[in-house]
């Protein structure tokens, strides 16, 4: 039975991924900060899920949790770097610096750090990495400033990892979704109303859509690497360039 470590299983895409991978016969190590949600998921998924409670930015807590994994969950075949967030939609000149540093610490620094920790073991097992990037990596939009930049990092880091890992058998994929209805916008804006308005009438992608895609990526034969996958709901597309006219 292969083992996946999925960061951020207490909500949204990560939670759906934990269900999908356990449903497909995988063992899953699921991480997050909210203990009550980890416990509820553990009740639901049972022995196939091992939960670890830590803030992904806290390297010491993370290492203590990973180094203490029970025997049955020690051999990790797949790392899914899913934990992440956007904070704020203000233009750069009005944004809070603390929001920017939280996004950089969570979406970039923590992702790089856990990848660095697990890479030797993944190489030894010819494992795989799936990183959650975003369409925000590929297309700028107003208010996307640092969030989009963190996801561009994730995409490019994923591609560069492939260059270094050539010959190791390790596969790496950057998943780049558009609108997925999760707690993402609630976290971003702090407003349930704004979140409901954003997704209302759009028929957005679901967390289960992305989880099924990640499972499909993981199930490809060992000689095949899906480098990057961009997904959008049918009701989302690109906007024209912004043009400002003077006077």
Ligand X SMILES: NC(=O)c1ccc[n+]([C@@H]2O[C@H](COP(=O)([O-])OP(=O)(O)OC[C@H]3O[C@@H](n4cnc5c(N)ncnc54)[C@H](OP(=O)(O)O)[C@@H]3O)[C@@H](O)[C@H]2O)c1
**Token representation of residue 157:** 């880091």
- Candidate residues 19, 32, 78, 195; the one interacting with ligand X per rule CB under 6 A: 32
Type and span of the H or E element at 231: strand 228-231
Q: Is 10 in the site for ligand X (CB under 6 A)?
A: yes
Q: Is 148 in the site for ligand X (CB under 6 A)?
A: no
What residues numbered 170-209 form the site for ligand X, per CB under 6 A?
A: 177, 179-180, 182-184, 187, 207
DSSP summary character for residue 106: I
Q: In the bound complex, which residue of the shown chain has the CB atom lying closest to ligand X?
A: 12
Q: Of the residues 139, 141, 147, 199, which is catalytic? A: 147
DSSP summary character for residue 242: P
Nearest alpha-carbon partner for 218 in 140, 108, 131? 131
Binding mask 126-145 for ligand X (x = CB under 6 A): ------x-x-----------
Q: Is 12 in the site for ligand X (CB under 6 A)?
A: yes
DSSP string, 125-184: TT-EEEEE--GGGTS--TT-HHHHHHHHHHHHHHHHHHHHHTTTT-EEEEEEE--EESSH
* Least Å from the CB of residue 57 to ligand X: 5
Residue 199 is among the residues annotated as catalytic for this protein: no
Q: Is 34 in the site for ligand X (CB under 6 A)?
A: yes
Measured distance CA(171)–CA(165) in Å, rounded: 8
Q: Is 88 in the site for ligand X (CB under 6 A)?
A: no
Measured distance CA(47)–CA(41) in Å, rounded: 11
- For the annotated catalytic residues, the residue numbers are 147
| Residues in touch with ligand X (CB under 6 A) | 8-14, 32-34, 55-57, 82-85, 106, 132, 134, 177, 179-180, 182-184, 187, 207
């Amino acid at each position: 039975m292969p083992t996946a470590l999925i960061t951020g299983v207490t909500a949204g895409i990560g939670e759906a991924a934990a269900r999908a991978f356990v449903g497909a016969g995988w063992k899953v190590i699921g991480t997050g900060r909210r203990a009550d949600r980890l416990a509820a998921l553990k009740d639901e998924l049972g022995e196939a899920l091992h939960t670890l409670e830590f803030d992904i930015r806290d390297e010491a807590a993370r290492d203590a949790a990973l180094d203490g994994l029970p025997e049955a969950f020690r051999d990790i075949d797949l790392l899914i770097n899913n934990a992440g967030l956007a904070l704020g939609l203000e233009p750069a000149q009005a944004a809070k610096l603390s929001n920017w540093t939280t996004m950089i610490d969570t979406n970039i620094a923590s992702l790089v750090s856990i990848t660095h920790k697990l890479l030797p073991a993944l190489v030894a097992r010819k494992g795989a990495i799936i990183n959650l990037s975003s369409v925000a990596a590929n297309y700028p939009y107003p208010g996307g400033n640092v969030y989009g930049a963190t996801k561009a990092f994730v995409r490019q880091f994923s591609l560069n990892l492939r260059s270094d890992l050539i010959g190791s058998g390790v596969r790496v994929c950057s998943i780049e979704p558009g609108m997925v209805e999760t707690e993402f916008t609630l976290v971003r804006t702090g407003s349930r109303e704004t979140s409901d308005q954003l997704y209302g009438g759009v028929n957005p992608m679901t967390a289960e859509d992305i989880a099924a895609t990640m499972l499909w990526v993981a199930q490809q034969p060992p000689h095949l690497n899906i480098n990057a996958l961009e997904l959008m709901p049918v009701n989302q597309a690109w906007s024209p360039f912004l043009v400002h006219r003077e006077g």
